[in-house]
Amino acid sequence: HLEFAGVESLFRGEGKQRLSNILQTLLYAMMLYRTRGVDAEPALYYVRAMNRPDYLPTLDDRETGVRGGRYTLYAERFEELVRQTLAELYDPSVPFRQCEDADTCKFCDFNVICKR
């Protein structure tokens, strides 16, 4: 839950492959950085694992080999990918595509809209 293969991996794939927990954590770090100038160290605290002596809440980037990197380590590329993703979402020439993993749709708030 804390490992990822670089920032770009967060924007590829479907469903569980996308690691939305890490993406969301970096979005929060981005907002904190842009609004308050705080260079946070993104971390995720899992209650079930917190009591283990070897537990570390910091993100583990397998691409760079960095564990516990601050937001500015990812900021430039992360924000570029956020902009690209939003541009694609709002581009009327890009057709709507359903996700390929139908299990994802079971918990999606928008499954009524896409009729899955």
Mean pLDDT of the region 39-57: 94
**Which parts of 2-113 are beta strand (E)?**
3-4, 60-61, 66-67
pTM metric for this prediction: 0.83
Per domain, the residue ranges of the chain are 3-114
User: CA 27, CA 75: separation in Å to the nearest integer?
Assistant: 10
Using alpha carbons, select from 76, 82, 86, 67 the residue that is nearest to residue 23.
Answer: 82
- Distance (Å, rounded) from C-alpha 102 to C-alpha 27? 26
* pLDDT tens digits along 5-35: 999 999 886 656 668 899 999 999 999 999 9
